[in-house]
Amino acid sequence: MNNQAAYAQQQDTSNAVVTVSGLTKAYAGGKTVLQDVALSISPRECLGIVGESGSGKSTLARCILTLDPFDQGELRLDGQSIRGLKRSELKRIRSRLGAVFQHPSAALNPRLTILQSLLEPLDQLKYYVPSFMAGKSSERRDTAEHLLEMVKLPASYLDKFPHQLSGGEKQRVTIARAISTEPDFIVLDEPTASLDVTTQATILNLLKDLQDELGLAYLFISHDLAAVHFMSDRIMVMKEGSVLEHFPKEALFHSDRHPYTQSLLEVFSTCCLPTEPILL
């Protein structure tokens, strides 16, 4: 048994928000993009995934979000297998998931105001009222204002269009939208890659604060080992669709790391993101 398999077996999956076992996926033409991937993420935990482009990180994320099918294996969300679920049941489970991707401009419809974009997920659920609005006004605008407040944006932004916001502000909007349905779990796929260094730090701190406040579980995907080390409790290293290593983040700099992981560390050895939140 390799180190990653041994460490994976030690994880307690009894209350896991997400559990993946034996997940395998191949594209048309036979190219395997995921091979026997296993992981679990518990409430309030962040699992970081690193690897070069083409290692299967984003494909794995899309499979977990139920956006892409997979060929073999099992995916359980809140303990429930998604295999064989009816469309209505899958829609209900998807409401418990959130996602923030690399390019916020692509995630926001340029023709919609921030108010309209922000409330799209809640509009799909029709009669659902978030618990953070309990005892408060149920008006759409009040809900949207509260969401912007949670990501530290002024209510005046609700009437703006995406092109009127900076990259960091747009990413805050996509984060607010991701938490609007009160998900248990959010996929963060390169959420800071398109931002400048100062804005990256601000967004990472915001994500940490929201995790603490809302009890969120994260899957954090990045090329940047410094950012992954800052955000995560555990780290998985992927290469060519397989998991090479899986370890607690404190072990990232251990001398027994896989040579591939060590090569990634060399690339990011000059990164200056701290292991404690930056105060801005």
- Whole-number percent of the chain with pLDDT over 70: 89
With contact defined as beta carbons under 8 Å apart, do 104 and 171 qualify?
Answer: yes
pLDDT at 129 over 80: no
Q: Which amino acid is at 165?
A: L
C-beta atoms surrounding 45 within 10 Å: 20
Q: Which amino acid is at 238?
A: M
- In CATH, what number does 1-96+219-280 get? 3.40.50.300
Most distant CA pair in the chain: distance in Å? 56
Q: What is the pLDDT of residues 6-62, one digit of tens each?
A: 455 456 677 899 999 999 999 888 889 999 999 999 999 999 999 998 999 999 999
Structure tokens at 40: 């679990």
pLDDT of residue 278: 41
With contact defined as beta carbons under 8 Å apart, do 223 and 229 qualify?
Answer: no
More confident residue, 2 or 252: 252
pLDDT of residue 159: 97
Domains of the chain, by residue range, sit at 1-96+219-280
Pairing of strands 242-248, 97-100: unpaired
